[in-house]
Structure 1
Amino acid sequence: MPFVKVLTTEADTAQPKVKSRTAIALTQDTIITNKADTSVLKDTTNKKIVDSSITSLNDSAKVITIDTLSFSQDSLAAQVQYNAEDSGVLIMSTRNFYLYGKASTQYQDLKLDANTIEYTQANQMIKAFGGVDTAQGALNKPKLVQAGSESISDTIFFNMKTQRGLTLNTFYKEDDIYVQAQRLKKVDKEVAFGYRTTFTTCNLDTPHFDFRARKIKIINNKIAVSGPANFEVEGVPLPLAIPFGIFPLNRGRHSGLLPPQFASNQDFGLGLEGLGYYKVLNDNWDITVRSNIYSYGGWNLNIQPEYFKRYKYRGNLNLALQKTKILNSGTISKSEFTETSGFFITWTHSTDTRARPGTTFSANVRAGSTKFNQYIPNNSYQNFQNQLSSSITWNKIWDQGKYNLSVAGNHDQNNNSGLINIRLPTVSFSATTIYPFQRKEIVGAQKWYEKLGVSYNGTLLNQFSFYDSAFNFKNLLDTAQWGVEHRVPITLSLPPLGPFILSPSVSYGERWYGQRIMRTWNPDAKKVDTSILKGFNTAREMSFSLSFNTRIFGTVNFPKSKGIKAIRHEVKPFVSFNYKPDLVSKYYSTVQIDTLGNTYRFSELEGGVIGAFSPGKFGGLSFGIDNLLEMKVKDKKDTAATATKKVKLLDGLSITSGYNYLADTLQWSPFSMSLRSTLFGKVNITGSASIDPYNIDSLGRRVNRLLWKDGKVGRFTNGSLAISTSLKSKSKDDKKTEDRISPDETLTPDEQLAQLEYVRQNPSEFVDFNIPWNVQLSFSLSFYRTLSPNLKDYLTQINSNLNINGDFSLTPKWKVGGGGYYDFKTSKIQSLTMFITREMHCWQLAINVTPVGLYRSFSITLNPKSGILRDLKINRSRFFYNQ
């Protein structure tokens, strides 16, 4: 039974009253007990340890007493918890206390473990020693833990009152730094000095690398500073040295310089990248400033403030200024350099829903010069990012969610064409469904008319458009457009008719326009002239529908099968009778488009910020069917005889179309198809297609002739197919993999995206050697028909690409990987990256090569894994701009 005890304060050590002061001589380690005496100190095992009054064994003997250990003058500020596996000895005369065998003490935030611990109460000095075992060598070395720091030594001398101490042959850990010192002196609770020290971030007893310095100073949770230090690898000194070392140990935010990285670029010249400063403004704000400087004269400046207030808001702003100066080495040009300037701004903001319930404000802004992304080196993802968009939204909900008001500003731009659209403001208001005939207090079943509901949706849009190369304020006002849309849906829920559900509805829509586009044939210029008439215009649309839908189930069982147990098919058909009068025919006109007399029907309201209603009246039906297919198979992972699991074969396969009884021609609507499936839980498949049942003329326009009369199904006018999968081998250690991929919940979504972007740019630094191989494949195919600029014929656009990423282990310590993007339209590899990396425990070697893309590059990097030494790297990089 281990010896366990609590050293108490002076309140627990009062002197007992004695009848006699006659004493006898005793040895220092003598402990005498008397069965008849009840005034004793007991340990937690209820065994008598020390008598406060020692009595002889017969009645005639004198009463002998010994003074107890007094704490009245030198008592500690708190109790000391202690225990020992072997024993504890208290020497009265010298007031020393010894613990033997896996001893442990706890005083406030200080914890000490050792083989032997000696405590001298007179000066509150603790001495701790390790043991020696003939088979195991050193045994139970002293271990001291205080204020988040930990040290293991051969010998420890420590004063509990002054918090000063001296340790010999100490192994010390502070955050990611491991320090071994011949002598380590603690001058107070926070500061320690080391003599003849080695420090490293490798956690092995014999580290792969270290820095050897004569002196080092460590301030807990703040900083470690060393004098001149020599670099060693595997204990072998190298002719490399640093004049001093500064290692931040702050676990929280702290201001400081951001060290740069040397870069060599054929197009930009020599440079320093990432040079900057991080400043903590207060508890809620900080700012990061980084810059890239190149010898040819180019530079880049990033200013990024971040802010966060708990339960209120959080966000960050990034303003990037860019001056690019590229050497024209591979092209014939009048000037030696190509120079451009640009900017880019990113802003994200979100409010906590608890700050003002019912009111939110959010922002997601990405805007800048159209050529900015093109001149970012070694970032193929941003080089080809040509679509940018922004949104700033204020939203208000009141009356228990019945009403919703949203005011937003939006922006989108195309970096290829240079066209920028700004929609400001966009105001949306909606009211949830109101039941005007419903009783205030419902008693019993509801009447059918009480389920009649009316709702409202309204939107106000304003848009300005301009090209970044030809921007001026007058042109901006000329392109201003506005529009308003109102929607009033009316619905009614009727009781089911057996397996059928009936849903009648009425919808009214109205749109207001600020302009009309007039097109006329110009016989002199032999082209179509376009003019814009400003003014207030309105268009309306109404529709009536009555829909029937149901669900049909079918199951086929296979009782004798050992694998497939059953296949289940679910069919969800629907039929809807619709009527829509033609209320917008006055805005449609037929215009001659060429000298041959061909014509085209245009809407005067199309091309605006709000689209035009479709022409013609519709009176007919819409129909469709959706399918779900799944099967039940034997679960091989479950040993139970009846254990099964569901496997989905089709998540959905739908076909929809319609027929217009009121149309003179082209009565059939195009057939729309969609497919959703996840095969074997690994392969994701999505597809869609539109099939037109009518033929076309020589110019690609629909004519009233059904293709199925000619034995054809129809014409595919547009469609898409996307297939993706992610495959990987079984992990060698599931626990390590789970720890690796667990998300950091303390990061904002934008910070997580930035982190993913860094991983995308530096895949070799984030490979998982615990997984022997993995691969991600995605293929996409899309096609569509669009009207050509001459307004006569149609063009078919086909796009398809293949994206591959993955890696595999050549050996347990070598891994090769890469990724590529192949465009089938151009029959070219648009992007290709490859890497090979070597796992070296506390170091990592990475070789990255990008032979294809706007920027071609290669880099060789050797760096420690520790975050503290992330800037200590040997790097050789070359970049080539593909002009």
Structure 2
Amino acid sequence: MNKQGKINEKKVWAIVALVGLFILTMHVSASVANKFHFSESRSILDTVPKNRRKPIGTALPKTVDTTKKLSAIDSAAKAQADSIHTIDTLTISKDSLDAPIKYKASDSGVLIIPTKEFILYGKANVSNKDVSLDAATIQYDQTGQMVKAYGARDTTGNPYSKPNLKQADMTTISDSILFSLKTFKGLTKNTYVQQGEMFVHSDVSKKVSATEYYGYRNRFTTCNLDTPHFSISSRRIKMISNKLAVSGPAAPEFEGVPIPIGIPFGIYPLVQGRHSGILPPAFNVSEDYGLGLEGLGYYKVINEYIDVVTRANLYSYGGWSLNVSPKYQKRYRFNGGLNITFQNTKALNRSYGYSASSFPADEFNSTKSYSINWQHSQDARVRPGTNFSASVNFASSKYNQTVLNNPYLNFQNQLSSTINYSKDFRGKANLSISANHNQNNRTRLVNLSLPNIGFNVNTFYPFQKKESVGASKWYEKLGIGYSGSFSNQISYYDTAGVTLKKLLDTTRWAATHNIPISIALPALGPVTISPSVSYSENWYAQKTILNWNNSNKRLDTSMVKGLYRSSQMSFGVSANTRIFGTYQFKKSKNIVAIRHEIRPTIGFTYTPDLSSKFFYTTQVDTFGHTARLSQFGSSGFGGTNAGSISFGIDNLLEMKVRDRSDSTKPKATKKVKLIDGFGFNSSYNLLADSFKLAPFQFYARTTLFSVVNITGGFTLDPYQVDSTGFRRNIYTWAASKPSLGRLTSGNIALSTQFKSKPKDGKKDSERIPVDPFLTPDEQQRQLQYARSNPAEFTDFNIPWSLNLSYSLNYTKTFAANYQYVTQVYSSVNFSGDFSLTEKWKVGGNGYYDFKTSSLQQFSMFVTREMHCWQLAINVSPIGLYRSFNITLSPKSGILRDLKINRSRTFSNY
């Protein structure tokens, strides 16, 4: 080979080649940003000779930064031309180089001077900014400004290293790429394009501009296999980058078999990010509501901060519901969402026509209800020291019962809301303003508490010196604080006839002032002593008097409005310490030691009677029993002198065992908690005339083997009761059959979770993505949907799982009618799933109530993993509504509404 024809890799022609290559990548980058645009009318795999002879040229460096100075181009070009022959000088402005071009090849890079071509051989790669092109061979022709990229064949004749172009989330694979930098036109064959979750294959594609091209024999799919399980095929399409694709008649294919279901035309949005559009419905059949279209709606993007989802359910019997859910979010400032639902339920009356005497006026039962949910949270960095949050969950009492296929909502009888504003005054004081709501859907009682105002002054030390020297005096640790509150409550029943006047009649407000005084005394060895003094005062807007009516055998209520104040003062001192004990085992044992920690507390409180005039005694039943009541209801306090001694003991029990899992450290140990805490507390009133000893509160909590969580507690009343349940001033251990106490309440709760190890070995936190910008209301709605449709959220990575929880509650309380009522609640919740095979999974969940001895709710599911599709069958044979649902849907998020659905619902009314 002529030595003069070779080019030194440090000379300027390498830079000239890279400048030309940059033009290639710069145009490719501009085109790729507008989605699909490849050219070449034929495959070039077979046009490259197997035993090619390299033309005049030499191997070039594998990485070159084209931003180097180009001042020597002309002189170097003339020197080379004089030694060989005359050539045209390639002049490119260095202003067009806005980023370095990097290239590499496993074989070589060759510059052909006569034809002005630059070629990379063997797993070539060229990258510029966010654009990367990989191919077996990449060629740039300066004369025609043509770019070629094509693959190669292995020894068996199979193609490999096909041109692969990537930019952002878009990937394109073709047999070949031939692209004109002049006209932006071209023709390609057998091209695969991936953008996000969408894959598009075109047998032939013709590019007509920088942003438009036409395709012939196309397939759309979200399956990433070479031979996809399903696709939507269309003979001709037109695609506009970053906008949409439009096709003629289209039909689905499964495993390459056409399905005789088609559409006359198709519109496929290609816009990235949020955009407005129609939300398709799902078909449902209910024997109470009729045929239904559920979820029909529209998604509207208002601006970059706000969007709105509107959905409607329509039923053939005339019922309907409308849901409007705007969501707003401004990053680093606030986020929230509003969910408003109106329901006009029209359900079949099952007793219609059963008998002439009970013949109803209407064939259908109509109910109107509503629900309002609002969630708002503020970023703490917006205004340090100031916060505003809201969590509103308000609805008609009948709303939850009329929601189809949501057993968790159907059995939810308690609703509550809170709106809160707080402000901190430089750490010295804080103000809070809130509005609260709670309601019981069973009793239909609604309580509104607004406004609630609280103002607190943090403890300050008036006798503390600003600059102290040496040890502080005891009086310098004297601290004084203040807390005040104002509350206003409105109560009403969610029934017809509620008026503003009735609401105002139920209004009750009260204010409280509290001044605590504390002092920290030096510890007496292991004992810490804490004295305290506090003064409290309550203001009330009314007082209520209950009188026994012998004629009607009931309590009559009389109410007097005005301004009343009741005060209370208390003095107290408490002491606490910690006692440790350890039992050591022999060195040959697996158990090293057991450690027991005891935390006893004792305190004395004196509360003089400053409000006895607001207490009275009245008869409460026909047996002549009396009770001492406050004129201010349950919010009243005081009424008697109290000198109480309070006492209690808390315990912690843990064990140290040898760690056999660490073979490198034979003496390694680990701690195991046997009982996290257990103990009791009570008090004794030295100044009371009766019932001096308060009930004993026992509690315990632990986690067995880090698997089973157990919490429990019970209350023992040390006094006897008569035949009607009223207490007698006689201790239980003084009875004919002595006992330590009388059980008045108790509870125990156990919960556990068992599951196999994930197949991929990842933890739950690594496998489950968490969206930090979801509001609590959106998270709750997603959780409810997942619970109602468990088959759509099955994790095949975990072969089996089981969740169990049990709760038992026993209470014997003094009811509102001043009668003792005993209630026992016991229930079991369970859920789980297991894989029959790697592709089939079965599971279920339910709730069993031991009080009614019945299964209150049960649902099960069967799901089939189909790679890019999923079959889900949900069945709820027990519950307020019985239903079944069969859904066949793509797993891709962009095709979530393209599903085959069959649903039926039956009522248990």
Normalised TM-score (structure 2) = 0.89
Q: Does 1:749 align with 2:749?
A: no
Q: Secondary structure at the match of 1:114?
A: strand
Question: Which segment is superposed worse, 161-170 or 372-381?
Answer: 161-170
Q: CA deviation at 1:750?
A: 2.6
- Judging changes above 3 Å, is the alpha-carbon distance between structure 1 residues 319 and 262 closer, same or farther for their aligned structure 2 residues? same
What is aligned with 2:696? 671
Identity fraction in percent: 52
Q: Secondary structure at the match of 1:690?
A: strand
- Judging changes above 3 Å, is the alpha-carbon distance between structure 1 residues 522 and 756 closer, same or farther for their aligned structure 2 residues? closer
Alignment of 1:417-432 (within 5 A): 417-432=443-458
1:426-476 deviations in Å (ceiling 9; x for gaps):
110001101111112222221111111111111101111111213111111
Question: Which segment is superposed worse, 190-199 or 81-90?
Answer: 190-199
Mapped contact 2:655–2:674 kept (Cα < 8 A)? yes
- Judging changes above 3 Å, is the alpha-carbon distance between structure 1 residues 222 and 800 closer, same or farther for their aligned structure 2 residues? farther
What is aligned with 2:829? 803
CA distance in 2, matches of 1:864, 1:751: 23
Q: Does 1:355 align with 2:382?
A: yes
- Judging changes above 3 Å, is the alpha-carbon distance between structure 1 residues 410 and 74 closer, same or farther for their aligned structure 2 residues? closer
Question: Which segment is superposed worse, 156-165 or 235-244?
Answer: 156-165
Q: CA deviation at 1:31?
A: 4.6
Q: Does 1:197 align with 2:223?
A: no
Mapped contact 1:84–1:104 kept (Cα < 8 A)? yes
CA distance in 2, matches of 1:87, 1:707: 99
CA distance in 2, matches of 1:623, 1:66: 107
What is the aligned counterpart of 1:408 among 411, 420, 434? 434
- Judging changes above 3 Å, is the alpha-carbon distance between structure 1 residues 475 and 100 closer, same or farther for their aligned structure 2 residues? same
Q: CA deviation at 1:80?
A: 3.9
What is aligned with 2:91? 71
- Judging changes above 3 Å, is the alpha-carbon distance between structure 1 residues 655 and 502 closer, same or farther for their aligned structure 2 residues? same
CA distance in 2, matches of 1:866, 1:345: 32
Mapped contact 1:409–1:423 kept (Cα < 8 A)? yes
What is aligned with 1:767? 794
Q: CA deviation at 1:507?
A: 1.6
CA distance in 1, matches of 2:253, 2:555: 80
What is aligned with 1:23? none
Q: Does 1:652 align with 2:672?
A: no
What is aligned with 1:815? 841
What is the aligned counterpart of 1:446 among 466, 472, 481? 472
Q: Secondary structure at the match of 2:780?
A: helix
Mapped contact 1:177–1:199 kept (Cα < 8 A)? yes
What is aligned with 1:726? 753
- Judging changes above 3 Å, is the alpha-carbon distance between structure 1 residues 347 and 537 closer, same or farther for their aligned structure 2 residues? same
What is aligned with 1:699? 724
What is aligned with 1:367? 394
Q: Secondary structure at the match of 1:868?
A: helix
What is the aligned counterpart of 2:611 among 584, 603, 608? 584
What is aligned with 2:30? none
Question: Which segment is superposed worse, 762-771 or 122-131?
Answer: 122-131
What is aligned with 1:831? 857
Mapped contact 1:85–1:101 kept (Cα < 8 A)? yes
Q: Secondary structure at the match of 1:541?
A: strand
Q: Does 1:844 align with 2:875?
A: no
Q: CA deviation at 1:198?
A: 1.5
What is aligned with 1:20? none
Question: Which segment is superposed worse, 388-397 or 372-381?
Answer: 388-397
What is the aligned counterpart of 1:247 among 227, 248, 268? 268
Question: Which segment is superposed worse, 741-750 or 166-175?
Answer: 741-750
Q: CA deviation at 1:45?
A: 10
Q: CA deviation at 1:681?
A: 1.1
Q: CA deviation at 1:423?
A: 1.3
Mapped contact 1:74–1:122 kept (Cα < 8 A)? no
Q: Does 1:508 align with 2:529?
A: no
- Judging changes above 3 Å, is the alpha-carbon distance between structure 1 residues 114 and 45 closer, same or farther for their aligned structure 2 residues? closer
Q: CA deviation at 1:600?
A: 2.3
CA distance in 1, matches of 2:130, 2:756: 46
- Judging changes above 3 Å, is the alpha-carbon distance between structure 1 residues 733 and 44 closer, same or farther for their aligned structure 2 residues? closer
CA distance in 2, matches of 1:28, 1:250: 45
Q: CA deviation at 1:52?
A: 5.0
What is the aligned counterpart of 2:886 among 860, 864, 874? 860
- Judging changes above 3 Å, is the alpha-carbon distance between structure 1 residues 73 and 691 closer, same or farther for their aligned structure 2 residues? closer
Aligned residues: 849
Mapped contact 1:259–1:276 kept (Cα < 8 A)? yes
1:766-822 deviations in Å (ceiling 9; x for gaps):
11111111111111111212234553x411111111100111111111111010111
What is aligned with 1:612? 636
Alignment of 1:66-465 (within 5 A): 67=87, 70-72=90-92, 80-135=101-156, 137-146=158-167, 148-160=169-181, 163-329=184-350, 332=354, 334=360, 335-398=362-425, 400-465=426-491
Q: CA deviation at 1:249?
A: 3.6
- Judging changes above 3 Å, is the alpha-carbon distance between structure 1 residues 541 and 298 closer, same or farther for their aligned structure 2 residues? same
1:235-277 deviations in Å (ceiling 9; x for gaps):
1222222323333343311111111112222211112111111
Which protein has the bigger strand share? Answer: 1
Alignment of 1:621-636 (within 5 A): 621-636=645-660
CA distance in 1, matches of 2:687, 2:277: 75
What is aligned with 1:556? 583
Mapped contact 2:284–2:905 kept (Cα < 8 A)? no
Q: Give the aligned residue type for 1:572.
A: R
Mapped contact 2:62–2:105 kept (Cα < 8 A)? no
What is aligned with 2:69? none
Q: Secondary structure at the match of 2:376?
A: strand
Question: Which segment is superposed worse, 184-193 or 465-474?
Answer: 184-193
Question: Which segment is superposed worse, 564-573 or 749-758?
Answer: 749-758
What is aligned with 1:36? none
Alignment RMSD (CA, Å): 2.7
CA distance in 2, matches of 1:430, 1:71: 78
Mapped contact 2:62–2:104 kept (Cα < 8 A)? no
Mapped contact 2:337–2:775 kept (Cα < 8 A)? no
- Judging changes above 3 Å, is the alpha-carbon distance between structure 1 residues 673 and 119 closer, same or farther for their aligned structure 2 residues? same
1:569-614 deviations in Å (ceiling 9; x for gaps):
111001112211222222222212345533222221115xxx1114
- Judging changes above 3 Å, is the alpha-carbon distance between structure 1 residues 249 and 785 closer, same or farther for their aligned structure 2 residues? farther
Mapped contact 1:69–1:95 kept (Cα < 8 A)? no
CA distance in 2, matches of 1:688, 1:344: 37
CA distance in 2, matches of 1:86, 1:99: 8
CA distance in 2, matches of 1:31, 1:602: 107
Q: CA deviation at 1:351?
A: 1.9
- Judging changes above 3 Å, is the alpha-carbon distance between structure 1 residues 249 and 676 closer, same or farther for their aligned structure 2 residues? farther
Q: CA deviation at 1:147?
A: 5.5
Q: Give the aligned residue type for 1:657.
A: S
Q: Give the aligned residue type for 2:522.
A: P
Mapped contact 1:81–1:105 kept (Cα < 8 A)? yes
1:406-430 deviations in Å (ceiling 9; x for gaps):
1111111111111111112111000
Mapped contact 2:376–2:389 kept (Cα < 8 A)? yes
Q: Give the aligned residue type for 1:690.
A: T
Q: CA deviation at 1:696?
A: 0.8
Structure 2 portions without partners, runs of 5+:
1-8, 24-52, 66-74
CA distance in 2, matches of 1:317, 1:43: 58
CA distance in 2, matches of 1:613, 1:552: 36
Question: Which segment is superposed worse, 743-752 or 117-126?
Answer: 743-752
Mapped contact 2:510–2:539 kept (Cα < 8 A)? yes
Mapped contact 2:199–2:223 kept (Cα < 8 A)? yes
What is the aligned counterpart of 1:681 among 706, 714, 725? 706
CA distance in 2, matches of 1:222, 1:483: 62
Q: Secondary structure at the match of 1:616?
A: coil
- Judging changes above 3 Å, is the alpha-carbon distance between structure 1 residues 269 and 291 closer, same or farther for their aligned structure 2 residues? same
Q: CA deviation at 1:385?
A: 1.2
Q: Does 1:519 align with 2:540?
A: no
